[in-house]
Amino acid sequence: MPMRTAQIAWRNLGRNKKRTALALLAIAVAQFALLATDGLMRGYSDNIRLAITGPMVGHVQAHHPNWRREWALDLAIDEVDRIVSTIHEDPDVGDVSARIYAPVLVAPEEDAFVATVVGLSVDSESNPYGVLSGLKHPLERGKVLMGYRLAKKIGAKPGQEVAVIGQAADGSLANDLYIVQDIIKCPADIINQSGIVMSLQDAQRLLVMPNQANEIVIRAKTSGKSRDITRRLSQRPRFAAIEVLPWQEIVPELVLILKMSDYVGYFALVIVFVAAIAGIANTLMMSTFERVHEFGMLLALGTQPRRIVRMIVCEAIFIGILGVVIGTALGYGFVAGTAERGIDMASWGGEGQVEDMAYQGLNLPLHIYPRLEPVDSLLGLIAVIITSMAASVWPAWIAGRLEPVEAMRA
């Protein structure tokens, strides 16, 4: 019996093809927009997450307990070599890099400019997602890499010798000459703006920090392990005087941005709802009013009103599902078509207007690789089915209350 209802409902969709097509279009466009938005937002979230957990912050960090408050050079972790090998014992840990950050002056000629010495573990940072992963030749001892914005500002070129002057951890004068090996552009904005990147050993010597570091950056082998790693390390006696934090607690603002991109998805979902309601409700109202006489005839023959209601609801759901299927195909087509090469959102801001977006010392790349999860299309489908049923309530109510004799006079 329901089969026949479905069959009639299906055929009824063909009665006014133009109107049905319009309703389908409204829903399909909405679902497409939802998936395209989801795809872009997921791609963007991936960028943010990678930028955070990749080169700059890593998944987990270890510091002197006061480092994050005062950023003073002497708030350092001692016996870094042993700490690093202890961290490597954790099964989920991939790369470990120890870093030193120190404010200095850099002088290519007579003038001096403010800069930041970033000393880091060259081997570890040369692996994928490391700060040096894009480098052609490994960073050599006695040489430095210079952030591209700093280099532009002070007019430094590769091969040039620069003087680096600052205060060492013990209060003495730190002072040495380095060759600029290369100019770098990397996801860590602090490095682009002011970075003088050198090996950890060079930094330790320059700043008189034997076997010390300000920060240890840990990258997990797979994502989603940061809290586990944090918990295990914190429990080890060697870390009694060391603060270990997952990235979510180090950059909570960025976690917020990630959450916000989810809300954009919800907003798109609301648009799908509204478009679906408008499309389906309009179609159903019009087709119901047109068929009052026909419904009257069916009621006169003895058809139960709920049977007619079921037919209308069925029509609504068919339109809804069909529209979602079309929209899903278009949406997946869009994402599949752009996933490989990505979309350069920076170019949307006009020629040369925006490069990348810098936030909290992090450079968030605007080249987005759209990506979808199965749940994305499901949400639209559920939304549209609920909406279809909601949109059919009013016409179904009207149809269900028709008096056969009066309806047949229509």
Partner 1 sequence: MSSSILVEAKGVTKVYTTGKVEAHALRGVDIEFRVGDFAAIVGPSGSGKTTFLNLVGALDVATDGELRVLGNDISRMTKRQRADLRLNSIGFVFQAYNLVPVLTAQENVEFVLELQGAGEQRSNRAKEVLAQLGLDAYSSRRPNELSGGQQQRVAVARAVAANPKLVLADEPTANLDGENSDILLKMMRDLNEAQGITFIFSTHDPRVVTYARRVVTLVDGRIDNDVTKNSATSSAE
Stretch that binds partner 1, among 1-9, 34-42, 186-194, 313-321 (CB under 8 A): 1-9
Stretch that binds partner 1, among 5-13, 60-68, 80-88, 136-144 (CB under 8 A): 5-13
Burial of 234 (0-12, 13-18, 19+ CB in 10 A): middle
User: Is 297 a residue that touches partner 1 (CB under 8 A)?
Assistant: yes
User: Is 8 a residue that touches partner 1 (CB under 8 A)?
Assistant: yes
- DSSP state letters, 328-365: HHHHHHHHHHHHTT-EEGGGGG-TTT---EEETTEEE-
Taking alpha carbons only, the member of 252, 238, 253, 327 closest to residue 37 is 327
Stretch that binds partner 1, among 12-20, 184-192, 207-215, 388-396 (CB under 8 A): 12-20
Rounded distance between C-alpha atoms, residue 80 and residue 96, angstroms: 11
3-state secondary structure of 50: helix
User: Is 6 a residue that touches partner 1 (CB under 8 A)?
Assistant: no
3-state secondary structure of 164: strand
User: Is 298 a residue that touches partner 1 (CB under 8 A)?
Assistant: yes
Rounded distance between C-alpha atoms, residue 231 and residue 227, angstroms: 6
User: Is 21 a residue that touches partner 1 (CB under 8 A)?
Assistant: no
Q: Which is nearer to partner 1, 1 or 173 (CB)?
A: 1
User: Is 401 a residue that touches partner 1 (CB under 8 A)?
Assistant: no
User: Is 306 a residue that touches partner 1 (CB under 8 A)?
Assistant: no
User: Is 386 a residue that touches partner 1 (CB under 8 A)?
Assistant: no
What is the nearest approach in angstroms of partner 1 to the Cβ of residue 403? Answer: 8
Q: Which is nearer to partner 1, 157 or 293 (CB)?
A: 293
First to last CA, the chain: 28
What is the nearest approach in angstroms of partner 1 to the Cβ of residue 11? Answer: 4
3-state secondary structure of 113: strand
Interacting residues with partner 1 (CB under 8 A): 1, 4, 8, 11-12, 14-15, 293-294, 297-304, 307, 404-405, 408
